[in-house]
Structure 1
Amino acid sequence: MAKEEKERYSSSSLMRGLEILRLFRPEQPTLSLVEIANQLGVSRTTPFRLLFTLQHMGYIRQNESTKRYELTPKVLELGFSYLNTLQITEVARPYLERLRNETGGSAHIGILDETSVVYVACETARGITRFAVAVGSRLPAHATAIGKTLLAFQPKEQWQELLLISDLHSYTKDTKTMIASLLKELEAVRAQGYSISSGEFEAGVRSVAAPIFHESGELVAAISVAAPESILPLDYVTSFVLPAILEAADELSAFYGYTPVKRRG
């Protein structure tokens, strides 16, 4: 469908309503009408009508004292409706539990949404709270092992575009932010079939990830283990954690009917 035709069928009101919902984040859990209008770059009358509709539908509520808006738990229905359509969330559960129990790290399944990793299944390591992500969390793809794995197995012709539209923020001194360096790493990840990241998103945290494929060879998701470097020293990662991750990824790929041409690693 041509761009002009897509724009003709697009609903501006629906787009604005979804934009409003996406404005609410951990760093700004409540917003006033003025703040919403300013962040959308529109006059107050535009979001006022949409806020009234969203409030009527139960997705947001307004504090009567402060007049500020906040999301309601009903918003979760939108995300869970999608998660319920993903077989991977239930199929992967025993594999994540096994990885968590055997490696001592937190185990995750993630998918790529534009330039972010969205976590769709998680098993948090017992006793570790330093690096724990919840279902629905979003992290930057360029700064995480699971994100680089997801990027590496996109069509190569899309790599440059994906990195160009990414906010290549430096989270630690080890975060790679140069496109040339990232492209080189994506080549390596694609060739070897896994990614290992150390301290790129959070100092002192190491993660290991591998791709999960569909029968057609297309990427379904990625599976990872993450923990403080003291829990995942490099020699332990290479000798035990990486083989365990690759085995789980291959078994989950087999569920989708995919047979690897050769053993990775």
Structure 2
Amino acid sequence: MNEFGRLEAAQRYTVPGLERGLRILTAFTRREPVLSAPELARRLSIPRSTVFRLLSTLEQLGLVERDESGRDYRLGTGALRLGFECLASKELTELGRPILERLRDITGCSCNLVVRDGRSVVYVARAVVQTPYANTVHLGTRLPAHATLFGRVLLRDLSFEKLQQLYPEEQLQAATPKTPATVAQLYRLIQTDRAHDYVFDQGYFEPNISTLAVPVFGQAGKVVAALGITVSGNKHTPENITELARSACEAADDLSGLLDHVAASRH
């Protein structure tokens, strides 16, 4: 088949609506994060009425959202999550794995790297020690964000309004008696967490399991992941927790620095 024939065959399988929608998403850049529908129509040579329908569809899917003016658009959390899933599957895990392994060797505890996907947290990298509690979660395990310390760390950038949109129900499903019952309670916990370098609790999601979680920051100081230490049992001294927290914070700082360096090197 010649080049013309291959091109013609490829075009037969092209979905114009999907192509136009993806072209809209890729029009948003770091330099131009906010665009209007008329501007998108002009740049992409797409009829305005079609652009408005496409934007409406993308908005419903969470891939774009209105800016503060209510007229223009920017990428939504859905599109950002898609981009970060790629990062999580490559750079984040590749850069984070040796850091987790070093942290595990220093602390003697299982260490995890977790990202948020909507209302869930997802384990994307682990460095475990062989204990009876080492296999309670695996790579790809999803847990409810509102009921875990990792989730509280990963939700910290959301405003109260955004948190309400994510959890519109009046009562949050409880995993343990420590789970916040309402969005307002969850938000208050998150705000308290923000005043500290780490969060720690015993039996917050599972009995006899203690978790210490630290935010990992990307560009612009946004939380992109949570790094944590899982400790079995409930015999912890304040000195021990302070030492674990110091090591975890240093590891999270190292990973944050690497992620920022990789992102900056692309410009």
When normalised by structure 1's length, the TM-score is 0.61
By how many angstroms is 1:7 displaced? 6.8
**Residue 87 of structure 1: aligned partner:** 91
Matched, 1:235 2:245: no
Give 1:227's aligned amino acid: V
Matching residue within 209, 224, 227 for 1:205: 209
Give 2:244's aligned amino acid: V
Question: Can you list the C-alpha shifts for 1:46-90, whole angstroms capped at 9, x where unaligned?
Answer: xxxxxxxxxxxxxxxxxxxxxxxxxxxxxxxxxxx9477430101
Matched, 1:117 2:121: yes
Q: Is the 8 A contact 2:88 2:124 kept in 1?
A: no
* CA distance 1:8–1:250, change in 2 (3 Å): closer
Give 2:230's aligned amino acid: A
Matching residue within 179, 185, 191 for 1:175: 179
In structure 2, the gaps of 5 or more residues are 1-36, 38-50, 60-84, 262-267
Superposed, which structure 2 residues align to 1:45-56 within 5 Å?
none
Give 1:247's aligned amino acid: E
Q: Structure 1 CA distance, aligned partners of 2:171 and 2:95?
A: 32
Question: Can you list the C-alpha shifts for 1:159-191, whole angstroms capped at 9, x where unaligned?
Answer: 232233698221222222232221111001122
Matched, 1:248 2:251: yes
**Residues paired across the two proteins, number:** 187
Give 2:54's aligned amino acid: E
By how many angstroms is 1:8 displaced? 6.0
CA RMSD of aligned residues (A): 2.9
* CA distance 1:131–1:169, change in 2 (3 Å): farther
Matching residue within 152, 156, 159 for 1:152: 156
**Residue 54 of structure 2: aligned partner:** 5
Give 1:252's aligned amino acid: L
Q: For 2:154, what is the secondary structure of its paired residue?
A: helix
Deviates more, 1:162-171 or 1:173-182: 162-171
Q: Is the 8 A contact 1:122 1:133 kept in 2?
A: no
Q: Is the 8 A contact 2:154 2:224 kept in 1?
A: no
* CA distance 1:114–1:234, change in 2 (3 Å): farther
Q: For 1:86, what is the secondary structure of its paired residue?
A: helix
Q: Structure 2 CA distance, aligned partners of 1:7 and 1:255?
A: 37
Q: Is the 8 A contact 1:207 1:225 kept in 2?
A: yes
Question: Can you list the C-alpha shifts for 1:112-150, whole angstroms capped at 9, x where unaligned?
Answer: 100110111011222233663111110111121111100
In structure 1, the gaps of 5 or more residues are 11-80, 259-265
- Percent identity of the aligned residues? 32
Q: Structure 1 CA distance, aligned partners of 2:183 and 2:237?
A: 26
* CA distance 1:213–1:155, change in 2 (3 Å): farther
Question: Can you list the C-alpha shifts for 1:95-116, whole angstroms capped at 9, x where unaligned?
Answer: 1112222223211111110011
